[in-house]
């Protein structure tokens, strides 16, 4: 069955979160890969802990704080490197399979929508810089709620906007925790497991596991 609404996580699914550091690897130095991993890990940790505490700060602020933590753990960054990394995060590279998959789905008559923790401003800039803006019908941001995924209210944004039931939504994410949250909510959750990572949250399985968005 072809579902009419395909909803995508943005960071890590459509956009390569490690492309920011990859662009400036020489400037960052020998701990570039470690810094990139720590940056992403702390960014996600901050979204979960702040949602639980009820102490919301937007995704842009948390991204900046996470970079500062990662830099401190990796021996520091020059002001120039910090500035360039934060700017690069606003214009991340899209994964090579993103645009072809979105184009294919739209040719089938499906709607394509982002549901992200990112702010509306950041998502608009990211989609434009990656050349995806004409392949997406909409971008929905958790910032409207002041909470982050995996809060059910964030997934409910899709139904509120489009008047669909959860089982009418195909939700794609490379983040297994996000897939678990979407499955729990009732979406047809697709895990885009590009890295061949081991499974987790086995009581909340994905409807499908794919290695590339080309498999949609």
Q: Mean pLDDT across the stretch 44-68?
A: 97
Q: What is the pLDDT of residues 118-148, one digit of tens each?
A: 999 999 999 999 999 999 999 999 999 999 9
Confidence of residue 4 (pLDDT cuts 50, 70, 90): confident
Please state which CATH class domain 5-16+92-215 belongs to.
alpha beta
Residue 192 CA to residue 172 CA, distance in Å, equals: 7
Nearest to 179 by CA among 13, 24, 22, 37: 13
The verdict on whether 9 is a catalytic residue reads yes
Q: Mean pLDDT across the stretch 145-152?
A: 97
Q: Which fold has domain 19-89?
A: DNA polymerase; domain 1 (1.10.150)
User: Quick one: what percent of the chain has pLDDT higher than 90?
Assistant: 98
Asked whether residue 1 carries a pLDDT value surpassing 50, the answer given is no
Q: Mean pLDDT across the stretch 179-202?
A: 98
pLDDT at 98: 98
Q: Which segments of 90-146 does DSSP mark as H helices, in order?
A: 98-107, 120-129
Contact at 8 Å (CB) between 194 and 98? no
Q: Provide the residue ranges of all domains of the chain, joining segments of one domain with +.
A: 5-16+92-215, 19-89
Count other Cβ atoms within 10 Å, centred on residue 198.
Answer: 7
- 3-class DSSP assignment, residue 115: strand
Catalytic residue among 9, 16, 58, 93: 9
């Amino acid at each position: 069955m072809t579902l009419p609404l395909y909803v995508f996580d943005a960071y890590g699914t459509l956009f390569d979160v490690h492309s920011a550091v990859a662009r400036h690897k020489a400037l960052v130095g020998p701990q570039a890969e470690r810094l990139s991993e720590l940056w992403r890990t702390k960014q996600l940790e901050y979204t979960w802990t702040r949602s639980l505490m009820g102490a919301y700060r937007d995704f842009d602020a948390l991204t900046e704080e996470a970079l500062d933590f990662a830099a401190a753990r990796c021996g520091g960054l020059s002001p120039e490197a910090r500035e360039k990394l934060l700017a690069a995060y606003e214009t991340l590279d899209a994964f090579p399979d993103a645009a072809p998959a979105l184009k294919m789905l739209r040719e089938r008559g499906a709607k394509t929508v982002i549901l992200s923790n990112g702010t509306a401003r950041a998502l608009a800039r990211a989609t434009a810089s990656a050349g995806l803006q004409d392949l997406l019908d909409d971008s929905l941001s958790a910032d409207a709620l002041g909470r982050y995924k995996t809060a059910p209210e964030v997934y409910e944004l899709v139904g509120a906007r489009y008047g669909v039931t959860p089982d009418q939504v195909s939700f794609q994410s490379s983040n297994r925790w996000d897939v678990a949250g979407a499955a729990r909510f009732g979406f047809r959750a697709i895990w885009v497991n590009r890295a061949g990572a081991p499974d987790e949250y086995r009581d909340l399985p994905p409807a499908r596991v794919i290695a590339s968005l080309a498999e949609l």
